[in-house]
Structure 1
Amino acid sequence: MKWQERKAAPLSQELIDEYQLSPLAAKLFSLRGIDTAEKLNFWFTATEADLADPYLMHDMDKAVDRINQALDSGEKITVYGDYDADGITATTIMVEMLGIMGGDVHYFIPNRFKDGYGPSLDRYKEIVADGTKLIITVDNGVTGLEEVAYAQEHGVDVIVTDHHTFKDKMPEACAIVHCNYPGQAYPFDDYCGAGVAYTIARAVLQDTASEFLELAMIGTIGDMVKVSGEGHVIVKRGLELLNQTARPGLRALIANAGLTMGQIDETDIGFKIAPRLNACGRLDDAALAVKLLLAETPEEAKQLADRVEKLNTERRELTAQTTLEAEQQVVKQGYQSQATLTLYDPDWHEGVMGLVANRIADEYHKPTLMLTKNGDGMIKGSGRSSEKFGFNLFDALKPLEGTTLTQFGGHDYACGLSLTLDKLDQLREDFEGSFQKQDHLQETVKQYDGEIKPLDVSLDAVSQLALVGPFGTDNEAPVFSVTQPKISGFRAMKKGCSFNVANVRAIDFDHKITEMVLPFIDKLYVSLSTNTFRGKTSVQFQVAGVHYGQPIYLAQQKVVDFRQQEDLLGFADKYLLFDPKNAQLAQKRYGIPAEMLTMAKDDEDLSEQIVTVLDVPANPDQLNFVLAKDYKQLYLRFQLDRLPGKQLPGREAFGRVWEYFRAHPGQKANNYLQAAGQLGLKPEGLLFILRVFFTLDFVKMEGDKLVPSPNLTKKSLNDSGYYRSVKAQIAFVNRLRTISTNELLRYANGLSRRRI
């Protein structure tokens, strides 16, 4: 990851004086392009009264006319929602608004496990059969071509209100109210479903509909749409109203979340409120959350909020337990060496697959699919990737839809999918293969807001930052750099660590900082927050990024033993490889640009370069070849290899594989690798055994299948030159990785003639 400092012309002194801005606030506004009186005035003073005319949104006039017709005629109206926080709040807004107008209004929230995501034809049929005359979708509908057509053909009008991406065709609905409809006149294009529902409420009620802002705000933060432009008004005003809400359901939810009225901010919404609403749809029925938000008495709200809290606790426990089981599966099956992870257990809960996939992908730095079996016997699950991996999930899996996958949907770094059990091995093979096909993406660039000195950090500075908030998508919280930080008081925590940066305490949850790497930290990228402990509030840093450099005390050492360092750190000029097959792995796993990789056999002049030896040499001669060259500095890492393990599989393992092979002849090599776990081996160990069998003429290839050779003769394992070669290499590599630092450096510096 690369960090880039934001640059912008400073605000004029007239603006600074007019709005009484501190130097820090003035700088942050300029860096975010809020640099005119008009923009600053909107930022500080705009309210819901300043939002654009709702009738500028596509088909708003048609939608309002049809809603008024239904209200006047007493028609039954059904609001068709969705099971996430955005869909829940959007449903609540629409139902409550129609209720205020005296409508005969009902609502339906799909069940994640029975109905799946989005429109369901079976449910539309039920709604039509139940006497509904108008269906209003919220936070869904643009993909419901067949469903909308069915309703319209049976005399039921459908108003689609949505914010998701259109397919090639649009549904032929009575009206489509969409914040990003092609060519529409509405000036803001990134409302969530609740934001669109709120805009319709403004049009129908013919006022600002302020009573719905707190719900629209929760949907906005929960769905991570823009909090700039009109999104700023929705979130800022929504938070103000939420902090004094009289809505019983929200007050009960806030109390159970342990929050304090008057002090709730956007972070609390994203990490405390939205997850509780989402828990209902993940584990049970999201209609429970709608009932909570619509509750009219504190007693009813308390009862419903307690049920939601129980589901949220269960969600956390399930996520933790499933994550542990997934980690165990990675180790047991030997998937650590794979570029991707496809994990499956029929007993996992479908509702937490996305949450766990995100955790596993983050922990192992690999694109991850988490799969389980639903009640109908289908394999369903979620996938997660990241910009850091340089891997686009959508591009990798979309070609499999209709062949390996029965259903697929998502975007670059998150997806949902389903398949039949007989396609699971094929998916695992295709997913791993897709990794090899994808080029490494450009290095991720994140922006920061300039340098800050710890001595300048204060509670007043945090207050100044708040002027530029609320923060979220398209208005990220400020990040500052601290160069050559003076670090002390390191303390490891259950997740992450904490330490002092001069006079400020810092916490880190994401970068695996260890005490060993502290001297290598050249620059920290931090955000500012507050921490209250025993009644005392202080400022703290939260680490957003780390840049490593060479510490002064190592500058004079020609060779550095870096074998025990888990992280790459990334301050070398070049990364040296012995095996060219490790080049792509180095790019994918560590994000090393191809131009920073060099092969040991090349004659490139590296005399002025800091070089890290990234993988292991196959033999002493390769190591000696590298050590004989001249470098500015050489770091010995020896991280990557393509060996079957730290030791060769024993004879009993060869026996188990042979018996399994004889019982299952004529399969692809990848099919045999899926049996590694039940044979007590890692995939690379089983592959090694199969290769030994091949070199001993015990097996042969027929097309892409492995079959027994017709004329078997008894042979020793040592009759295989491949077996002997790998045996010698493992012994050498183990020696290289386990000898003492003193012995390794004496050898590397030419002070010892003893061969390693």
Structure 2
Amino acid sequence: MEKWFVTMKKADFQKISERYHISPIVARLIRNREIVSEKEIDFYLNGTIADLYDGMLMKDMDKAVEILSEKIKAKEAIRVIGDYDIDGVNATYILKEGLTGLGADVDTDIPDRVKDGYGLNRMLLDRALEEGIDTIITCDNGIAAKEEIEYGKKRGLTILVTDHHEVPYVELGGEREYLLPPADAVVDPHRPDCPYPFKGLCGAAVAYKLIEALYNVMARDAEDVDYLMENVAISTVGDVMDLIGENRIFVKQGLEMLKRTKNEGLKALIACTGVPVEHLSAYHIGFILGPCINASGRLDTAKRALALLEAKTHREAVILAEDLKALNDSRKEMTERGVEQAVAQIEESELKNDKVLVVYLPDCHESIAGIIAGRIKERYYRPTFVLTKAEEGVKGSGRSIESYNMFEEMCKCRSLFTKFGGHKLAAGVSLKEEDVETFRKTINELADLSEEDLLMKVSIDMRLPFPYVTESLIEELKLLEPFGKGNTKPLFAEKELRVIHPRILGKNQNVLKCVLEDMQGNRIDAVYFGEVKACLRRMQEKARLSVTYYPSINEFRGKKTKQITIVNYQ
């Protein structure tokens, strides 16, 4: 079930429209995104690289930069230890590229998802010690590795943490005690004592800020590393960060850089996945390029994705890009099978009555548990954990809904886990197999979710009658891009529509086309991508429908026509 509501934010839309030379419709859309003050509106519409904050504002950034500049001058061996997902791989690449440019003796290591698990572990530290490494920098991990860092420090390693995850804590007498790792420097905007104004950076953005600060301190031109902003953009979208504040600038600028990237690997990946380079958008990162980069860390080793970014020749890049695309294709097939098994398990058991879904799929590849959890969460609109059998015990991933803080809820039953981490909307977990059922029962007993919380909310920006859908409005909506989490595509609605000539098209029978007519006789072409058969049935049963939609221009054989994409219908 869905609950539709129209966002009714108040403002002087005419005044905003005149001041910023935009239409009142676009002024309303900006206000709906909680962009209120003149400064915020100006930043949203016109923000540039010059508006980014100074990385030195981050707690411990001065320490990290001082230590690194000394290590570089002393030619000490530095190792970057990243994570195996899109953010970790790009953050690793940024640190390695940046440090290499400063003449550092630097190499990288990325844990194996299955053998090593997430984050810093003793095996990685022992390997570094055996190979004569002096300094370790973590990226996109490290904030939760208190014991491992203690172990490394005792053995004489210098350890710097750069991360963007929440700091683990314990509740003592109603007070939170944060468990910061004992590293030589801990750079993470989520530290409670970090004054950095924008908390929503991804791991690659934190790594980029460190490199930028290091270049400034070592009297090198920080603009030399501007090109790494394209990697920050890939990570920001791929790691599903909110596209607000600094992230909006990183993604906006990074997308422009990506269109003319000099990176052989990224060029090859864009070409082999058929992404239209001139129209490259956040969508293409999120749903085409990003999953290919992630696939190597899921099904093979993330070192292959890093090798793609580091590829020096066109030939090497093409081979690596095609490998990643093939891996992602097989990941898609495995995901479809996993989703089918999860749905069957829920439908055929008492799980369907749970408010928090805990699905155990022992034979599922642990690397796709998070994707399956996301698909199940969307289908049932409930917080979902998908657990799989691991080398030791059980591992899994969780995906949450807006009204359920997954990380905080997991902190309440932390004694059940051998390892866990995450944030409000996503988490990773390890536990013993015999504790799976206890976990399911406990997390449901703790869940304070009402029926209202479990209704999918459809937030509509405004009712927009068809005559207002003009080419100039569709063009103007581009001002609001890039779209993604935290800056969603505008959603319009219209009601009492007659459906004319609905039909299913496409070689996979996955597109529904029709014409919609309002009560005044205005017509517009419409398409729907979703459960097309169910939609067609509804259209044939009902005389009139209400829809939510987004408008676009459809170009076919040189002819441009307005059309809308139906998002929801009822």
Higher RCO, Cα 8 Å, sep 6+: 2
- Cα displacement (A) at 1:310: 1.4
Residues 218-244 of structure 1 deviation map (CA, whole Å, 9 limit, x = unaligned): 111112223222222111111111111
Residue 475 (structure 2) pairs with residue 473 (structure 1):
no
- Cα displacement (A) at 1:108: 1.1
Choose which of 186, 189, 208 in structure 2 pairs with 1:198.
208
Query: What amino acid does structure 1 have at the position aligned with 2:415?
Result: G
Residue 510 (structure 2) pairs with residue 489 (structure 1):
no
Residue 185 (structure 2) pairs with residue 175 (structure 1):
yes
Size of the alignment, in residue pairs? 541
- Taking a change above 3 Å as real, the CA distance of residues 396 and 179 of structure 1, as seen in their structure-2 partners, is closer
Secondary structure (helix, strand or coil) at the match of 2:277 reads coil
Query: What amino acid does structure 2 have at the position aligned with 1:402?
Result: S
- Cα displacement (A) at 1:460: 2.9
- Taking a change above 3 Å as real, the CA distance of residues 165 and 149 of structure 1, as seen in their structure-2 partners, is same
Q: Is the 8 A contact 1:367 1:391 kept in 2?
A: yes
- Taking a change above 3 Å as real, the CA distance of residues 386 and 123 of structure 1, as seen in their structure-2 partners, is same
Aligned CA RMSD, in angstroms, stands at: 3.0
Query: What amino acid does structure 2 have at the position aligned with 1:450?
Result: M
Q: Is the 8 A contact 2:166 2:191 kept in 1?
A: no
Residue 517 (structure 2) pairs with residue 516 (structure 1):
no
- Taking a change above 3 Å as real, the CA distance of residues 492 and 432 of structure 1, as seen in their structure-2 partners, is farther
TM, length-normalised to structure 1: 0.66
Residue 317 (structure 2) pairs with residue 301 (structure 1):
yes
What is aligned with 1:379? 394
Q: Is the 8 A contact 1:278 1:286 kept in 2?
A: yes
- Cα displacement (A) at 1:356: 1.8
Q: Is the 8 A contact 2:84 2:297 kept in 1?
A: yes
How far apart in 2 are the matches of 1:136 and 1:114? 21
- Cα displacement (A) at 1:51: 1.7
Residue 375 (structure 2) pairs with residue 353 (structure 1):
no
- The 5-angstrom pairing of residues 108-147 of structure 1 reads 108-147=109-148
- The 5-angstrom pairing of residues 330-729 of structure 1 reads 330=346, 342-364=358-380, 367-376=383-392, 378-387=393-402, 398-403=411-416, 405-427=417-439, 430=442, 438-440=449-451, 442=453, 446-491=458-503, 497-502=512-517, 503-509=524-530, 513-516=535-538, 519=542, 523-533=546-556, 536=559, 538-546=561-569, 548=570
- Cα displacement (A) at 1:287: 1.3
Residue 282 (structure 2) pairs with residue 263 (structure 1):
no
Query: What amino acid does structure 2 have at the position aligned with 1:356?
Result: I
Residue 24 (structure 2) pairs with residue 3 (structure 1):
no
- Taking a change above 3 Å as real, the CA distance of residues 269 and 136 of structure 1, as seen in their structure-2 partners, is same
TM, length-normalised to structure 2: 0.86
* More off after superposition, 345-354 vs 261-270: 345-354
How far apart in 2 are the matches of 1:297 and 1:5? 51
How far apart in 2 are the matches of 1:412 and 1:426? 22
Q: Is the 8 A contact 1:525 1:544 kept in 2?
A: yes
Q: Is the 8 A contact 2:503 2:536 kept in 1?
A: no
Q: Which runs of 5+ in 2 are unaligned?
A: 169-177, 217-221, 518-523
Query: What amino acid does structure 1 have at the position aligned with 2:188?
Result: H
Residues 454-505 of structure 1 deviation map (CA, whole Å, 9 limit, x = unaligned): 2332443221101122122322221112132232333357557444323131
Larger radius of gyration: 1
- Cα displacement (A) at 1:81: 0.6
What is aligned with 1:594? none
How far apart in 2 are the matches of 1:16 and 1:339? 44
- Cα displacement (A) at 1:299: 1.5
Secondary structure (helix, strand or coil) at the match of 2:142 reads coil
- Cα displacement (A) at 1:292: 0.7
How far apart in 2 are the matches of 1:38 and 1:542? 33
- Cα displacement (A) at 1:54: 2.1
How far apart in 1 are the matches of 2:41 and 2:28? 13
How far apart in 2 are the matches of 1:529 and 1:224? 24
- Cα displacement (A) at 1:40: 4.7
* More off after superposition, 367-376 vs 50-59: 367-376
Q: Is the 8 A contact 2:381 2:456 kept in 1?
A: no
Secondary structure (helix, strand or coil) at the match of 1:402 reads helix
Query: What amino acid does structure 1 have at the position aligned with 2:397?
Result: S
- Cα displacement (A) at 1:392: 6.2
How far apart in 1 are the matches of 2:254 and 2:438? 48
How far apart in 1 are the matches of 2:545 and 2:115? 52
How far apart in 2 are the matches of 1:186 and 1:198? 15
What is aligned with 1:652? none
* More off after superposition, 485-494 vs 425-434: 425-434
- Taking a change above 3 Å as real, the CA distance of residues 415 and 57 of structure 1, as seen in their structure-2 partners, is closer
- Cα displacement (A) at 1:17: 4.9
How far apart in 2 are the matches of 1:8 and 1:486? 32
Query: What amino acid does structure 2 have at the position aligned with 1:541?
Result: I
- Cα displacement (A) at 1:446: 4.8
How far apart in 2 are the matches of 1:182 and 1:196? 16
What is aligned with 2:171? none
* More off after superposition, 153-162 vs 239-248: 153-162
* More off after superposition, 120-129 vs 260-269: 120-129
How far apart in 2 are the matches of 1:533 and 1:401? 56
Secondary structure (helix, strand or coil) at the match of 1:484 reads strand
What is aligned with 1:245? 261
Query: What amino acid does structure 2 have at the position aligned with 1:147?
Result: E
* More off after superposition, 316-325 vs 22-31: 22-31
Q: Is the 8 A contact 2:511 2:527 kept in 1?
A: no
- Cα displacement (A) at 1:335: 5.9
- Cα displacement (A) at 1:316: 0.8
How far apart in 2 are the matches of 1:12 and 1:431? 49
Secondary structure (helix, strand or coil) at the match of 2:28 reads helix
Secondary structure (helix, strand or coil) at the match of 1:6 reads coil
How far apart in 2 are the matches of 1:66 and 1:396? 38
Query: What amino acid does structure 2 have at the position aligned with 1:184?
Result: C
Q: Which runs of 5+ in 1 are unaligned?
A: 549-756
- Cα displacement (A) at 1:107: 0.8
What is aligned with 2:91? 90
- Cα displacement (A) at 1:451: 1.7
Secondary structure (helix, strand or coil) at the match of 2:388 reads strand
What is aligned with 1:689? none
Secondary structure (helix, strand or coil) at the match of 2:462 reads coil
Secondary structure (helix, strand or coil) at the match of 1:407 reads strand
How far apart in 1 are the matches of 2:35 and 2:381? 37
Query: What amino acid does structure 2 have at the position aligned with 1:467?
Result: L
How far apart in 1 are the matches of 2:440 and 2:510? 30
What is aligned with 1:645? none
- Cα displacement (A) at 1:386: 3.1
Choose which of 208, 221, 226 in structure 2 pairs with 1:210.
226
Residues 130-152 of structure 1 deviation map (CA, whole Å, 9 limit, x = unaligned): 21111111111111111222222
Secondary structure (helix, strand or coil) at the match of 1:370 reads strand
- Taking a change above 3 Å as real, the CA distance of residues 183 and 374 of structure 1, as seen in their structure-2 partners, is closer
Residue 189 (structure 2) pairs with residue 188 (structure 1):
no
- Taking a change above 3 Å as real, the CA distance of residues 439 and 458 of structure 1, as seen in their structure-2 partners, is closer
